Amino acid sequence: MQETLAFTVPLSWYLILAAILFTIGAIGVFTRRNALLVLMSVEIMLNAVNLTFLAFARTRGDSIGHVVTFFVIAVAAAEAAVGLALVMGVFRHTRTVNVDSLRAMRR
Amino acid sequence: MFEQVMFWLFGAGAVVTAGMVVAPPFNRNPVHAALALIASFFCMAGLYMLLLAHLLAVLQILVYAGAIMVLFLFVIMLLNLGDHELGKQSSSVGQMIGLVAMAFVTSKLVVTLATSADSLPHGADPAAPEALVRDGFGTVATVGDAMFRHYLVPFELTAILLLIAVIGAVVLAKRNL
């Protein structure tokens, strides 16, 4: 049975919104020096990608975009766990979470 | 009409709260940034609902706003960061160049998307007045069917990935193994 749900918001609006959110996240990654905020900005970028996948899934009417988004959420959870563990390990050694002050490999 | 109103509501909410995570005056305190990010995730969940991705909207709130952000808040409170630990928010020339380049790339992307809107398939297209959406699109049954019928191996690999992440997090965060 085909449901006749009108799709009144064009696909391009969702893509533009995802592009804007991805930019906000990327700017956060580039400009913030607090490691926790950098990780949060990465989460924003992953969310923007999820939005793109789901918008295309809605337009095409298949569930594959949903499956991929599920995997992205799982990867984001793993990334957050390892990233935060790294931040804690770095903080224990250097007493800072500022990524500019981590220059041990620059000598 | 309702869909468009909700799109603007959730979209503006997601952009504003995501901006509060990144923009300088709000994010001095990491707890405020984390709370703004949770609000952004809820707005994104609303957008997923509009896209009929019901399962993913619930997962977004459970996994992102629930599990991941609680982990963030735990770490923020565990580290108990003061001004000394946060260090100076330096602004170098390279950062400014990156900022300008990123804004340029995104503006080009937005313009391209906006001008090619007619060639992209969408519901307002006269050739396809209704997007092809089957009954039960985005529900647990439909997504689970696609996942376990065609993507079983990646699904199992996800379990291994999460196991590796758990072991890695414990090894990295433990004081002396």
Pair A57, B54: CB distance under 8 Å: no
Rounded Cα distance between B44 and B59, Å, is: 11
Among 1.10.287.130, 3.30.830.10, 1.20.120.1200, 3.30.300.20, what is the CATH number of B1-84?
1.20.120.1200
Nearest to A39 by CA among B68, B42, B45, B159: B68
Q: In whole angstroms, what is the distance from residue A87 CA to residue A70 CA?
A: 26
Assigned domain for A17 exists: yes
Partners of residue A3 in chain B, C-beta under 8 Å: 133-135, 137
Rounded CA gap, B72 and B81, in Å? Answer: 13
Is there a domain that residue A6 lies in? no
- A1 and B134 within 8 Å at the Cβ level: the answer is yes
Cβ-in-10-Å burial (0-12, 13-18, 19+) of B153 comes to exposed
DSSP structure class, residue A98: B
Residue positions counted in chain B? 177
pLDDT tens readout for residues A39-78: 999 999 999 999 999 988 888 888 888 999 999 999 999 9
**Per residue of chain B (177 residues), what is the pLDDT tens digit?**
788 888 999 999 999 999 888 887 776 788 889 999 999 999 999 999 998 889 999 999 999 888 999 999 999 888 887 766 666 666 677 778 878 888 888 888 888 877 776 565 554 444 454 556 777 788 888 889 889 999 999 999 999 999 999 999 999 888 766
User: Given an 8 Å threshold on Cβ–Cβ distance, is A25 in contact with B22?
Assistant: yes
Smallest CA–CA distance, residue A51 to chain B, in Å, is 7
**In this complex, do A82 and B169 lie within 8 Å of one another by their Cβ atoms?**
yes
Average pLDDT, stretch A29-48? 90
Residue of A nearest to B173 (CA): A85
A4 assigned to some structural domain:
no
CA gap A26, A39 in Å, rounded:
11
The torsion angles phi and psi of A101, rounded to 5 degrees, stand at -85, 0
Task: Write down the pLDDT at residue B158.
Answer: 94
Domain segments of chain B as ranges: 1-84, 139-177
Residue A107 lies in a domain: no
Output the 3-class SS for B21-42: HHCCCCCCCHHHHHHHHHHHHH
Q: Is the pLDDT of residue A27 over 90?
A: no
Q: Residue A63's domain spans which residues?
A: 11-101
Percentage of chain A exceeding pLDDT 70: 93
Q: Round the CA-based radius of gyration of chain A to a whole number and report it.
A: 18
Three-state SS annotation for B159-172: HHHHHHHHHHHHHH
Q: Which of B90, B165, B175 lies closest to A78 in CB terms?
A: B165
pLDDT confidence of residue B118: 56
* Domain at A61, CATH number: 1.10.287.3510
Give the mutation candidate from B22, B29, B42, B93 for the A interface (greatest A CB count, under 10 A): B22
Measured CA to CA, the distance from residue B142 to residue A66 in angstroms comes to 10
CA-to-CA distance for A36 and A78, rounded, in angstroms? 15
Residue A3 lies in a domain: no
Contact (CB, 8 A) for A45 and A29: yes
CB B14 within 8 A of CB B6: no
- What's the Cα-to-Cα distance from B143 to each of A7, A49, B67, B98, B131, rounded to whole Å? 20, 18, 22, 39, 18
Nearest CA in chain A to B43: A47
CB A11 within 8 A of CB A75: no
For residues B161 and A51, the answer to whether their CB atoms sit within 8 Å is no
The pLDDT of residue A54: 92
Spatial distance between the Cα atoms of B86 and B108, rounded to a whole number of angstroms: 35
Tally of domains in chain A: 1
Q: Find the CB nearest B75 among A55, A67, A88.
A: A88
Residue A39 is assigned to a structural domain of this protein:
yes
pLDDT score at A101:
79
A63 in a structural domain = yes
Question: Which token pair is B126?
Answer: 């006269």
Structure tokens at A85: 């563990």
In a domain, A1, yes or no: no
